[in-house]
Amino acid sequence: MEVQAQTNEQIMQMLNEWYIEIRARRLRNAHLLKTEIDKKIKNMEEDQNLLLYYSLLDFRHQYLVDSLSIGKDSFNKIESFNIPTDDSLIYYYYFFKAMHSTIVGNYNLAKIYYDKAEIKLREIPDQLEHAEFYFKLATFNCHHQQYIPAFQQVSKAEEIFSKYNGYELNIGYCNNVSGLICTHLNEFETAEEFFMSAMNIFQKQKEEQAILYVRHNLGFMYANQKLSDLAIRHLSEVIKELPNDYKAILIAACEHEKIGEKEKALELFEKGLKISTDLKNEEYEHHFKISQAIAKGVCAEELEKIVLAGNVYFERENIYEYVKEYNEKLALTFYRENNHVKSSEYFYLCSIMNGKNHLGGQ
């Protein structure tokens, strides 16, 4: 029993060190620790808390290495355990469940778990954990179209990270998210400054994967500026290295369609739809289905069915910008078919969505 207790304590220490490396985005160190832990954890069938902690960190490690491989079922192993009662484990459970819910587009559930995690965070003195939490909360709010709170939270995270040595990568990631927020707010000059700052940090650290994340966001920024060729150039580089990046695929497909490259656009829409369907990512399934239908030039009546199915999801998750965007495209399709009653109806619904966006999606 004493030997087993010492082994458990040793593995617990290794798990703590693993999380520190994950949090600092030190991929190589995190991978080395995971390899060592995997050798030892096989014999730990009886300690449920230890196994749950390992499963939580294994999810967090996978999220760091390849967040775009995270699907609806990626949290199932963790859910097979009883909900923890240990304070630190319950915090990680809430926090990581919020992250999982965000990436699969379950924003209402993510909000519930971020709120729960934030309450538990008050009991944690580690300021770097506070920075990590507010960085991820900012990312959530950016996805959930709450841009002002997101900017405040990412600024708070960066301020904390900047007080500690060895967290330059975290600062780079903060700049990357700040650039994305500014892009959504159409503050393109400021966005580019943030992206270039992030790029400089990542290039100095030779973090190729992080550089691709910035390229992705630059592509998104150029797409928002109607600079399709520039957007495609950056996004093509991302897709070449990360062929399953369904988010980059969607943006690139839309830009190819804008410049008349319909065949390429349809090829990418089909590819992205398969990836998001395999991951059971409801949000991106709707994005791809609607965009694909528009690119194919389906009639307004058929497009309406696809858009309305998407709107059920977008309204449920309080992401009204997409309701407005797709209603506008549907209204234009009805207009081109001389169905002015339907066209007016959807343009009116767009004006309602403007009000909801202004109120922060409430």
Give pLDDT tens digits for 288-313. Answer: 999 999 999 999 999 999 999 999 99
Closest CA to 245 of 279, 203, 221: 279
Residues 6+ apart with CB under 8 A from 332: 343
For 28-47, b/e burial (b = at least 16 CB within 10 A) is eebeebbeebeeebeebeeb
Residues 6+ apart with CB under 8 A from 199: 211, 214
Residue type, 169: L
Give pLDDT tens digits for 83-121. Answer: 888 888 999 999 999 999 999 999 999 999 999 999 999
Dihedral angle sign, alpha carbons of residues 81, 87, 92, 98: positive
Going from N- to C-terminal start, the domains of the chain cover: 1-124, 236-292, 298-362
pLDDT at 273: 98
Give pLDDT tens digits for 38-52. Answer: 988 876 667 888 999
Closest CA to 318 of 139, 84, 109, 32: 109
For 258-282, b/e burial (b = at least 16 CB within 10 A) is eeebeebbbebbebbbebbbebebb
Cβ–Cβ < 8 Å for 128, 166: no
What is the mean pLDDT of the segment spanning 262-283? 97
Give pLDDT tens digits for 222-257. Answer: 999 999 999 999 999 999 999 999 999 999 999 999
Chosen CATH of 1-124 out of 3.60.15.10, 3.40.50.2300, 1.25.40.10, 1.10.287.70: 1.25.40.10
- DSSP string for 254-273: HHHHHTT-HHHHHHHHHHHH
Query: Cα–Cα distance between 321 and 326 in angstroms, integer?
Result: 9
HSE of 279 in the Cβ direction (CA atoms, 13 Å)?
Answer: 25
Q: Residues of the chain with pLDDT > 90: what percent?
A: 87
The Cα-based distances of 202 to 23, 28, 167, 259 in angstroms read: 16, 15, 12, 32
Q: In sequence order, which ranges of 42-187 are alpha helices (DSSP H)?
A: 48-66, 76-79, 87-103, 107-121, 127-143, 147-161, 168-184
Closest CA to 21 of 36, 6, 43, 42: 36
- Using CA atoms in the order 124, 34, 217, 180, what is the torsion angle rounded to 10 degrees? 0
pTM: 0.92
Q: Residues of the chain with pLDDT > 70: what percent?
A: 95
Token couple for 336:
């081109």
